[in-house]
Each structure stands twice: as C-alpha cells, then as structure tokens.
Chain A
Amino acid sequence: MSGPNSGPMNSLFEGRSLRFIAACMVVFNGFFPAVWILLTSLKTETELVSKPITWWPHELTFDNYVQAFTDQPLLKYMGNSVWVAGLSTLFSLVVSAFAAYAIARLNLKHRQLILTTIVASSMFPLVTLLVPIFETMRALGLLNTTIALVLPYVVLNLPVCTLVLVSFFQSIPKDLENAAMIDGCTRLGALWTVVLPLAHRACSPQASSLS
C-alpha cells in the first residue's frame, strides 16, 4: 500500500513515471508564466519583437534589470511595498487575533452573530467604496499617509484571518490556559504567553498571504 491519503488517483498513477508526469503537469501549470517572464526579461529588445518569437534568449542581456533600477527609484518602490505589506500584516494579525480570541474563548452571548458580522461586512467590494473611503481619510487628515493605505488592507484581510484564527483558537485545549492561570497568570497573560505562541503556526501562512 502506498501513501496514506491518496485515494482513487493513486492507482491511476501507480507507476513512478506516471507520477512524475503528474508532478510535471502541476509544476508546469504553476511555473510556466513565471519562467516565461524570466526568459523574456533576459532578451534584448530587438529579440523581443522579432518573428518568429524565440523561446530561449539567443543572447543573454541584463540591461533590462539595470534599466529597471535606473529609470525609476525601484528600490524605494519595493521598500514602500514591503513597508505597507508589513504594517498591514501586523495590524491584521493583531486585530483579528484579538477578535478571534474573544469569539472563540470568551463567554459571549452572540458570538455567531459577531463572527458573521465581521466576516460579512469585510466581504463587501471595497472598489465600490473608494470615494467614501477617500472622503473618510480626508476628514481624518490621513490623506497621503501610509496609514490610509494600510487600514483598507487590514479590513480586506480581516475575514479570512479571523475565520482561520477562530478555528485555531478553538483547537487549543482550554486546560493549557487554565494551567497558566492557576500558576498565577492573568487571562491576558495566558493569551500572550500560551495561546499566541501556539497560534503562530496559524499566523504565519496568514502573514505570508498578505504581501
């Protein structure tokens, strides 16, 4: 018997070579566009517009990369992206972890209603709200600040983050927390020292998805 969770596909791809073909299909589907763009970036401009088009660059050139960095402050742009992504990741995790903990663990009356409100309201198409959000930011004096960009992103990520973290918090045994509290931890202390360190496994994929 091969792998534990394979199911009907397993016998269809019994042989090693067939499994290799299956892997190739998935890899090709995922990588082809990226590889093609990489190859394109290494071609000279004349080669790009020659017919028939070439698949493999005839003469490698790195001019395009030099140009990308010299034509505009690309490093600064990249820095901006990393900065905004980092901030929104941090805020999303903090906000959704707080909310998720309250929903999963505390004695709330309308926990289902609260969860659905958070998830549903942040599912609205933000594109349609561009103008009012702009007005809100202007009223708050936040125009042309990073915060104005970060806050909508946090909302955008709130539903998935909260849903994942709620189910994760529910899976952590309550005894762990109680033990910490018997040992003299406060509830917030237990959240900080016991629950959150365990949740970082659930947080990291969330964090990586935000870029």
Chain B
Amino acid sequence: MTAPITPPSHFDRLRDPSEKTLAFLLLTPAFLLLALIVAYPIGKLIWNSFYDLRLSGGTGAVKFIGWQNYVDVFNDKDFWNAAKNTLLITFITVPGALVVGLGLAMLANLPFKRRWPVRLALLLPWALPLSFAGLIFAWFFHTEYGVVNDIVRRFGGGSFNDGQTMWLLTPRYAFAAICLTIVWKTSSFMALILLAGLQMIPHSLYEAAEIDGASKWQQFCQVTIPMLMPSIIVALIFRTITALQTFDIPYTMTKGGPGNATETLAMLIHKTTIDYLDVGYGSTLAVFMFLMSMCVTAVYLKRIGGDQ
C-alpha cells in the first residue's frame, strides 16, 4: 500500500522551489544591486563623457560634443601627470607591500608562545581606515613637529638636511612619504593572506628538503615561494586593483601637492567633478581610469578562469 501521490500544491512549490528558481531567487539581490550601483552608473558615465556638462557655468546648457572630451584628455598635461603618478605608485607600492608583507608573515609564522600580540599587530594597520592612516603619517612627516625629522635630528648626525627636510612640501620627498605610508598600510593585508598560505605548507616538505641537503635559502626559494605562489598572485591582483584607485592617503597627506606632484587619477577625477563641477570632462577621465582597471581585472579573470 502506498500513499496516494498528491501533486505539490502552489504553497509547497513556494516553500521548496526547484533548483533553477531557487538559483534565480538567490542571485537576484546581488545582480539587482550591481545593476543599480555599477551597470547603470557605468552607462550613464559613458553617456556623460560625450557631453559638455559644466554645472559651474550657470547656463546649465547640456551640449553634445562628440569625442571632444576625449581629444582634450590626450592634450591634458594634468591627466598625463596624474596617470604617471598613479602608475608610479602602483609599481612602487605593490612590490614593496609584497616584500614587507612576506617578511611580516614569515616573522608572524614563527612558533611564539603568545600569538595574539603578533596577530593583533598584523591586523591593526589593515583595520585602520585609509584616510586615518594618511592623517597619522602626515603628522609623522611634519617638518617641525613630526617624529621622523625628530629622529633624524637626534640620531642622524647632520644627514638628511639636519632634520629640516620638508617631507610633504618637496615633490620627491612627498611622493616617497606617500609610498611609504601606502606600503605600511597595505603590507598587513598582504601579510594576512600570505600567513594563511604559509600555514598550509606541510612541514614534511621542509624535512624532505633538509634531508636532500638544501640550505635555508634554497628551502625558501624552492619550497616556500612556489607553495605560496597562489596566495601571492591573489594578493598581488587585489592590491594592484586598489593601488590604481589610490585616493585617500595622498588626499589626506598632501591634497595632491606640492603643485600636483602627488595627484593621482582618482584625485584628478574628484577635483574635476566635485570641485570644478565639470561633469562631462570628469566622466571622460573616469572612463580612462576604468579602462586601466579593466586591464588588471582582465588579468585576474583569466587567472581564476584558468584555475577551474
């Protein structure tokens, strides 16, 4: 005797939807959000970039000007300067943060009795807001009352301009100070990812290498680095994408100055649209920044696509 099979009622279907319906329902919020915050704004941005949209003129006239904004970008010295600064910051701070982060991760991976102070020290810079890190380091690099110049005065023995270096007011030093701050801030993120990778390496690999007579340096090069590669690549890609978007730290430390020596692309876009209210041209600059990020994201997509 079997119980008569009753067709699932409408209510049952709602309570236990088929896989397809469920998948659709579960993915809807994410895609709705992306459509609202990313897809539509991107479309609108590209649209705006073909218009003369200056809110400061008072006329409020919106004029279609075709590719004129794009032509202007190529003749804009500020754009090339900002693009150069952004790329320089990326090329300096991403490898810098990787090296420092790897060092921190390997130190933090030592068998300490009490692990929490070390772990907390790794987490702290990462948990700090970017702008806050910028403000703290701006105070460190203050010409008169900063701790950096104070240390130079006390122990520098007359080197480095006898501790009178105007760190944030000299183009080259301001750039170095900003890069240092970014490396400090972002190396802990690297260290956290790399530490997780380090802990996955089985100890037997090192024992095997030791039996084969590998030196410590060889163990590092032949075991640690290859085993860490997946973590390193993920960390590098995420870091590169955020490095291209650098805004908070230079903004709080120098506001792009002196002149525009430390102005990044994101800052130039912010200045053009928010301060100068030139929405059309700002949108065009944003399209260029977009293309830059897309190149890196494409590398990333190829990477996670290749894994599966």
B69 lies within 8 A of chain A by Cβ: no
Query: Which residues of A have CB within 8 Å of B146?
Result: 53
B33 touches A158 (CB 8 A): yes
Tell me if A's interface is mostly helix, strand, loop or mixed. Answer: helix
Interface residue tally for chain A (C-beta within 8 Å): 79
Q: Which chain A positions have C-beta within 8 A of B188?
A: 30
**Measured between alpha carbons, how far is A121 from B125 in the docked complex, in Å?**
27
- Residues in A with CB closer than 8 Å to B154 are 52
Chain B residues within 8 Å of A29, by CB: 104, 121, 125, 184
Closest residue of B by beta carbon distance from A4: B203
Q: Does A75 contact B (CB under 8 A)?
A: no
Q: Are A36 and B136 in contact (CB under 8 A)?
A: yes
- A66 on the interface (CB 8 Å rule)? no
A102 and B308 CA atoms in complex are apart in Å by: 17
Contact in complex: A51, B145 (CB < 8 Å): yes
Cβ–Cβ < 8 Å partners of A22 in chain B = 107, 110
Q: Within residues 1 to 35 of chain A, which ones have a CB less than 8 A from any CB in chain B?
A: 2-13, 19, 22-23, 25-31, 33-34
Report A-chain residues with C-beta under 8 Å of the C-beta of B38.
121-122, 124, 129, 155
Contacts of B40 in A (CB 8 A): 132, 136
Whole-angstrom CA separation of A126 from B241 in the bound complex:
12
Taking a contact as CB atoms under 8 Å apart, the answer to whether B42 and A9 are in contact is no
Contact of A23 among B118, B139, B140 (CB under 8 A): B118
**Counting CB contacts under 8 A, is A206 at the interface?**
no
The secondary-structure label for the interface of chain B is helix
Q: CA separation between A37 and B140, bound complex, in Å?
A: 10
Minimal beta-carbon separation of B247 from chain A (angstroms): 6
Q: Does B162 contact A (CB under 8 A)?
A: no
With both beta carbons as reference points, the residue of chain B lying nearest to A6 in the complex is identified as B111
Does A192 sit at the interface, judged by CB under 8 A?
Answer: no
The residue in chain B whose Cβ has the minimal distance to the Cβ of A152 is B37
In the complex, chain B residues whose CB is within 8 Å of the CB of A117:
34
> When the two chains form their complex, are residues A33 and B140 in contact, meaning their CB atoms are under 8 A apart?
yes
B residues apposed to A, CB below 8 Å: 15-17, 19-20, 22-23, 26-27, 29-31, 33-34, 36-42, 44-45, 48, 104, 106-112, 117-118, 120-125, 127-128, 133, 136-137, 139-140, 144-147, 150, 153-154, 184, 188, 198-199, 201, 203, 206, 216-217, 219-220, 223-224, 238, 241, 244-245, 247, 266, 269-270, 273-274, 279, 282-283, 285-286, 289-290, 293, 297, 300-301, 304-305, 308
In the complex, 10 of the A-B residue pairs with CB atoms within 8 angstroms, ordered by the A residue number, are A8-B206, A30-B122, A33-B140, A53-B146, A98-B26, A128-B285, A131-B283, A136-B36, A136-B41, A188-B22
Q: Which residues on A are within 8 Å of B, measured CB to CB?
A: 2-13, 19, 22-23, 25-31, 33-34, 36-37, 40, 48-49, 51-53, 55, 94-96, 98-99, 101-102, 106-108, 112, 114-133, 135-136, 151-152, 154-155, 158, 160, 162, 186-188, 208-209, 211
Q: Can you list the 3 inter-chain pairs with the closest CB atoms, starting with the nearest?
A: A30-B121, A3-B111, A132-B41
